[in-house]
Structure formats: C-alpha cells, structure tokens
C-alpha cells in the first residue's frame, strides 16, 4: 500500500504550555506513527545547537598525568572530579574563552566558590561540589 505525501496526517491542534521560565511543553496532534520521535529529535538538536553557553573543556591538574590517576589527599578519583567540573554553570561576558584557576589546601570541600575567576566570568552555582580534600590534601588546577 503506497501513500502520497498529501495523505499523511498533519497536525490539526498545536498547543504550547509554559512549564516554567525555562521550559515549555509543545503538543502537536495527530501525527503519523513514529513522526513524534523524528520531529522531537530534530527540534531538540536545533535548539541545542542554537543555545549559547560556556563549559569546562580542558583541565590541567598539578601532579596528575592522566584522567585515570588518583591524587593523594583527594577523596574522589580524577574521573569523578572531571565529571563534577562538568556540572559547573558558567557565564562568560565579552569573550569566547577564559582561564579559571583553583588552589586549595585541605581539609574540606572544594566548591565552585573556590575558583579564581577573571572579571568577565561568573559562576552561577557557587555551591556546586567539585571534590573533598583530606587534612593532607591539596589541589592546584587550571
């Protein structure tokens, strides 16, 4: 059974419901079977590629050769530390890149508030946990 493009179901009802200040629910109905996944994935990719943002893309840690290392005095391994850095919410003003540094002596938690920031960078979530140092631990990274 073949069908032409004119025979496909096209959305008759389109509703947009604001869920919060940063998200919305879009309802299109009816759609052919499987079209919802196709449209949803395409829309997601378009939105993600259009959003400006900043993220940690490179880390240099004193005393660490590679990501599968451990650091004496640091409770987390380096992989977990890097995953915690991915959770940082950063705003960049006036530039495309910036260098952040962190130097901390233990004991205690390492949070985003411990980062030394240039004037054009803001950390949105300063309470974000990066790692935990023991009494003998220290961390220097860029």
Of 13 and 9, the structure prediction assigns the larger pLDDT to 13
pLDDT in tens, 93-102: 988 899 999 9
- Asked if pLDDT for residue 10 goes beyond 90, the answer is no
Quick one: pLDDT at residue 71?
A: 94
Q: What is the pLDDT of residues 105-133, one digit of tens each?
A: 989 999 999 999 999 999 999 999 999 99
Architecture of the structural domain at 78-141: Beta Complex (2.170)
Written as one string, the DSSP assignment of 33-79 is TTHHHHHHHHHHHHHHHH---B------BTT--STT---TTBSS-HH
* pLDDT, tens digit, 9 for 90 and up, residues 24-70: 898 888 888 888 899 889 989 998 898 888 999 999 999 999 999 99
- List where CATH 2.170.120.12 sits in the chain: 78-141
**What pLDDT does residue 3 have?**
64
The predicted structure's pLDDT at residue 11: 83
Give the C-alpha separation, 34 to 133, whole Å: 50
Asked whether the bond before 107 is cis by omega within 30 degrees of 0, the reply is yes
């Amino acid at each position: 059974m073949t069908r032409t493009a004119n025979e496909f179901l096209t959305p008759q009802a389109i509703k947009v419901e604001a869920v919060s200040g940063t998200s919305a629910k879009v309802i299109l109905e009816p759609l052919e079977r499987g079209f919802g996944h196709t449209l949803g994935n395409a829309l997601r990719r378009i939105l993600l590629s259009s959003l400006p943002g900043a993220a940690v893309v490179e880390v240099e840690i004193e005393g660490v050769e590679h990501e599968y290392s451990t650091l004496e005095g640091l409770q987390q391994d380096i992989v977990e530390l890097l995953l915690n850095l991915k959770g940082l919410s950063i705003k960049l003003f006036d530039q495309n890149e910036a260098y952040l540094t962190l130097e901390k002596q233990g004991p205690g938690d390492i949070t985003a508030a411990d980062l030394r920031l240039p004037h054009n960078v803001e950390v949105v979530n300063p309470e974000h946990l990066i790692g935990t140092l023991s009494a003998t631990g220290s961390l220097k990274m860029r």
